[in-house]
Amino acid sequence: MLTVARERPVDPTTLAVLTLVDRISRELALDYFVIGAMAEELLLYGVFGLDTGRATLDVDLAVALDTWQQFEVVKARLVETGAFTPAREPHRLFHRAGMGQKASPLDLLPFGGIEQRPNEIAWPPDLSIIMNVAGYREALAASQEVEVQQDLVVRVASLPWLAILKLFAWADRGTENPKDALDLTTLLRRYGAAGNEDRLFAEEIGLLEALNYDLDLASPRLLGKDAARVTA
């Protein structure tokens, strides 16, 4: 299990969101894991102390569900806590901000038995909005437990799977928003320093030698190698 360092505590708003989501998911016996920029923030910065380039309070959660009724129950239970308000987008809630603070979004992205076709969900009522959820099942199975504070452990997409999901998201919406490409760039640059230095100087020494011991080049090469391994 990985642990967020005490000297780099999770933002109180993010902590409040994760605490409520975790409680309700346990009560409903649902599996979920953190994806997106928040997963990058928790792992790269919180665990390994690496600058991500853009701090975020947005929380993206992939939730394994069988029916849309389950999805509505999850949303309703979160709203009933009094900490969230609905948004126009069907997948989004806003965490109520304190005085003078901006509300932060919580995006709930369902996958699993709810998929209309493999790797796709179609949002009701008219099913006209299609979302790609390719890789979510596999990413959940490979997700890592992260202790974000004492007595609160959440599952987070592993860095290789996070990179893969970012590639899928970039392919879907890259022309609309560059954030997925920027997040992927951060992963490529930071992967070597994210707990992988010993590997590069041990079992992956051949990779490092081939790149003249250039860690900046070795980092993306190692991430690519690990991403290929987890999808084999």
What integer pLDDT is reported at residue 23 of this predicted model? 97
Q: Round to whole Å and give the CA distance between 225 and 103.
A: 39
3-state helix, strand, coil in the chain (%, to 5): 45, 20, 35
Residue-wise pLDDT for 160-211, tens only, equals 999 999 998 887 776 677 888 888 999 999 999 999 999 999 999 999 999 9
The angle at the Cα of 166, spanning 162 to 167, to the nearest 5 degrees, equals 120
Residue 99 reports pLDDT greater than 90: no
Query: Looking at the chain, which runs of residues are DSSP E strands?
Result: 2-3, 32-35, 59-64, 84-86, 92-95, 104-111, 120-123, 129-132, 144-149, 152-156
Instruction: Please report which confidence band the pLDDT of residue 96 belongs to, taking 50, 70 and 90 as the band edges.
Output: confident
Q: Which H or E run includes 221?
A: helix 215-230
What integer pLDDT is reported at residue 98 of this predicted model? 65
Residue-wise pLDDT for 36-87, tens only, equals 999 999 999 999 999 988 778 899 999 999 999 999 999 999 999 999 999 9
Share of the chain above pLDDT 70, in %: 97
177 in Cβ contact with 196 (< 8 Å) = no
Token pair in block for residue 108: 């709930």
Provide the mean pLDDT of the chain. Answer: 92
What integer pLDDT is reported at residue 174 of this predicted model? 64
